[in-house]
Amino acid sequence: MPELPDLEVIKENLTPRTVGRTVRGVKVFFPAFLKTWDPPVEELVGRQVTEVGRRGKFLLFHLEGELRLLVHLMRWGWVWHGRSSYAPTRATAFLLSLDDGMDIRVIEPGRRKLARAWVLPPGEAGPVAELGLEPLAPSFTPEALRGVLAGRRRQLKRLLTDQHLIAGIGNAYADEILFRAQLSPFRYAHTLSEPELDRLWRAIPETLRWAIGEIKRRIGDQLTDREVRDFLWVHGRAGKPCRVCGTPIEEVLVGGGRTDFCPACQNVNRPPAG
Ligand SMILES: [Zn+2]
């Protein structure tokens, strides 16, 4: 599932392909993809793309006249860029044809079509309004994080992946952040000491920025359907030795997600509480 670092790289790589281009056509391939009907998606046609942004796990295409197209790739979605003459595959959810003969397409290969989009008129934030702190923004201060965590009797892993509190972090990067912060994913937020809170605060943007750099190093300026995760320290490495201390990485399955951690580096008491 794409998370903040993946989406940040997609945003950066989409920018030179789209900004300054005018939309020549749009097509929605399954009705549930589009969550809004006013303004109609055809309103995008004839407008220039002025900027590509990201907020949490949403991609934002800004168009002339302050219209915005919001895209959420959900679990399996990815973005394709190629010639408009290339016939759309059955996995195509949406396409935006540009005036240079190229398309931007949202590909949803999952059996359940989960990717979604919103066309927003000026002044409307849509689902983005419900998002929590943006971890790479200057407003992500220790005080802001403390405000979000204050008194919460919730485990750190669940808290970090709650988009209403902090936006953009999913299963994989929550594990990486907690490894970097040397904190157990099962710790309750209200039990953190000041130094631990500080460690967590530093680890969040550090981990995300590091991951953005690693992904860019591997895919360059390309758009890819690959999930680039081979550089991670704990997530997806269950059973393998920790790269710091050699202890086997452990895994706990909760709901549909897995939590991977180093029991030694992260000082995990077993059995995990909750
Ligand atoms: Zn370790």
CATH number of the domain where residue 103 is located: 3.20.190.10
Residue 134 inside a domain? The answer is no
Give me ligand 1 centre to Cα 246, in Å. 6
Last residue of a domain, one of 94, 125, 156: 125
Last residue of a domain, one of 125, 157, 184: 125
Q: Parallel, antiparallel, or unpaired: how do β-strands 250-254 and 67-72 relate?
A: unpaired
Q: How far apart are CA 213 and CA 218, in angstroms?
A: 9
Give me ligand 1 centre to Cα 240, in Å. 11
pLDDT (0 to 100) of residue 110: 87
Handedness of CA 19, 21, 24, 29 (dihedral sign): negative
Give me ligand 1 centre to Cα 173, in Å. 17
Q: How far apart are CA 199 and CA 186, in angstroms?
A: 16
Domains held by the chain: number: 2
Judge if 163 and 74 occupy the same domain.
Answer: no
Residue 241 inside a domain? The answer is yes
- The domain that contains 174 carries what CATH number? 1.10.8.50
Judge if 97 and 210 occupy the same domain.
Answer: no
Residue 158 inside a domain? The answer is yes
Judge if 103 and 166 occupy the same domain.
Answer: no
Which residue range(s) make up the domain with 230? 142-261
Residue 26 inside a domain? The answer is yes
Residue 133 inside a domain? The answer is no
Residue 35 inside a domain? The answer is yes
Residue 190 inside a domain? The answer is yes
pLDDT (0 to 100) of residue 86: 97
Judge if 35 and 91 occupy the same domain.
Answer: yes
Judge if 109 and 162 occupy the same domain.
Answer: no
Judge if 158 and 109 occupy the same domain.
Answer: no
In order of 60, 68, 185, the CA distances from 126 in angstroms are 11, 10, 31
Q: Parallel, antiparallel, or unpaired: how do β-strands 67-72 and 58-63 relate?
A: antiparallel
Give me ligand 1 centre to Cα 251, in Å. 13
Give me ligand 1 centre to Cα 261, in Å. 8
Query: ∠50-107-87 over CA atoms, to 5°?
Result: 95
Judge if 183 and 208 occupy the same domain.
Answer: yes
pLDDT (0 to 100) of residue 235: 97
Last residue of a domain, one of 90, 125, 160: 125
Give me ligand 1 centre to Cα 165, in Å. 28
Give me ligand 1 centre to Cα 158, in Å. 21
Give me ligand 1 centre to Cα 55, in Å. 32
Judge if 175 and 121 occupy the same domain.
Answer: no
Judge if 146 and 104 occupy the same domain.
Answer: no
Judge if 90 and 192 occupy the same domain.
Answer: no
* Tens-digit pLDDT string for the chain (274 aa): 899 999 999 999 999 999 999 999 999 999 999 999 999 999 999 999 999 999 999 999 999 999 999 999 999 999 999 999 999 999 999 999 999 999 999 999 988 999 999 999 999 999 999 999 999 999 999 999 999 998 889 999 999 999 999 999 999 999 999 999 999 999 999 999 999 999 999 999 999 999 999 999 999 999 988 889 999 999 999 999 999 999 999 999 977 789 999 999 999 976 554 4
Q: What is the largest CA-CA distance in the chain?
A: 59
